[in-house]
A and B are shown apart, each in its own frame.
Chain A
Amino acid sequence: MSEFDAESLSALLDNEADDLSLPRILESYEENSNLVEKWRRYNLVQAAIHNEVVQVSPNLRKDIYESIKGKNDLNGFEIFGSRGQLLKIAIAASVATIFVLSGRFILEDAGSASQIADQRLISTDNLEAIPPFSNGEEYSEAELKAQELLKEYISRIHIDEEAPPVIEHLHNSPLYRLVNQIESRNN
């Protein structure tokens, strides 16, 4: 080990090394047992000076090294983390899709409400032209109110094709409540 490397170790110990020191040290770390030993002793002395020392067996470090070598590298943890995120997004997307499709199906049963949604996708400027449910049935005051709420809700929907669907707020929406009401009535 060169004196230059040893001096770099000393600076690293003090958090005073430049950015190039560590990559250079790490490059020769594996082949240079003197460097590893010096790093160990420097740290031991520093810990002893500050009364923070229990000397440990050299096997401790080797056992730890072997254990982490046995594991996948840390990218494995990252991949696992990303998979977890992907899984969450996939579940959220599936729930949203099922919710939208089932909602549409139920609304089709109830009348031509799906047309309303389709019209919303085409134009948001023509809400007054949305026809009322027209299967010839009489509607109660509550149902008419629900239709109003539905129109109002649809008018507030903003679809951002770039963003993933967010569905949590739907549970509090008039549309969600309306679909549930219709569904429970049909059952």
Chain B
Amino acid sequence: MPADTDQQLVEKALGGNRNAFDMLVLRHQNRVAAIVARIIRDPKETEDVCQEAFIKAYGALRLFRGESKFYTWLYRIAINTAKNHIVSRGRRPPARDIEINELENAEHTIFLGDIETPENTLNTEKLKRAIEDAIEALPSDLRTAFTLREFSGLSYEDITEIMDCPVGTVRSRIFRAREAIDNSIKELL
């Protein structure tokens, strides 16, 4: 039975493994930044607030009981940190509370151009287009496995049944699809 990766990483981080927390940061930083950017609306402050949110999460990690998903817990910290940041700057917080569900369901892509980082020259639209092109170019079996996983959210076991192949094959196809996409965007980042 595969284990939840976030939960595994949290346990490792609680055991003193800072690399595990680094993996959690890399796993969630883009989504956390998207959430914070919706509240802060000041791209220059977004990263500072993200950083603060992750540091708070690290300090409070032992309080995470695993009763909810880790990302829900983390996003709530990010939302509260962003709101507090706005208040501390003497600005008005959002007119109404932004809820986790709303953030999860909403289209909240922020263009990379709004967030000025010297390392990144590609905006999110270009990135998305490159990903779409790469998916289109995948061999049929890889594209099917990847699409079922990424867009339909099916488990490897479900995909195994649909594609009528062993789970190892599903795992390998999804991996090879990711590698192909990764190779096509790597140079752009």
Q: Which residues of A contact B (CB under 8 A)?
A: 6-7, 10-19, 22-23, 25-26, 29-30, 36, 38-49, 51-61, 63-65, 67-69, 71, 73-75, 77-78, 81
B112 within 8 A of A: yes
B140 within 8 A of A: no
Check A40–B178 contact: CB distance below 8 A. no
What total of chain B residues lie within 8 Å of the partner, measured CB to CB?
Answer: 70
Chain B residues with CB below 8 A from A11, complex form: 2, 171, 175
B80 within 8 A of A: no
Partner of A16, one of B13, B119, B171: B171
Check B62–A54 contact: CB distance below 8 A. no
| B22 nearest CB neighbor, chain A only | A65
Chain A residues with CB below 8 A from B95, complex form: none
Among B55-78, those with CB < 8 Å from A are 55, 58-59, 61-62
B91 within 8 A of A: no
| A54 nearest CB neighbor, chain B only | B33
Check B124–A53 contact: CB distance below 8 A. yes
Chain A residues with CB below 8 A from B51, complex form: 60, 63-64, 67
List, sorted by A's number, 14 A–B pairs whose CB atoms are closer than 8 Å.
A6-B175, A14-B149, A18-B2, A23-B12, A40-B26, A41-B185, A49-B150, A53-B30, A54-B115, A55-B124, A56-B50, A65-B18, A74-B58, A74-B62
Check A49–B151 contact: CB distance below 8 A. yes
Give the distance in Å from the alpha carbon of A59 to the alpha carbon of B51 in the complex.
10
Chain B residues with CB below 8 A from A40, complex form: 26
Give the distance in Å from the alpha carbon of A140 to the alpha carbon of B9 in the complex.
70
Give the distance in Å from the alpha carbon of A41 to the alpha carbon of B175 in the complex.
13
Chain A residues with CB below 8 A from B185, complex form: 41, 45
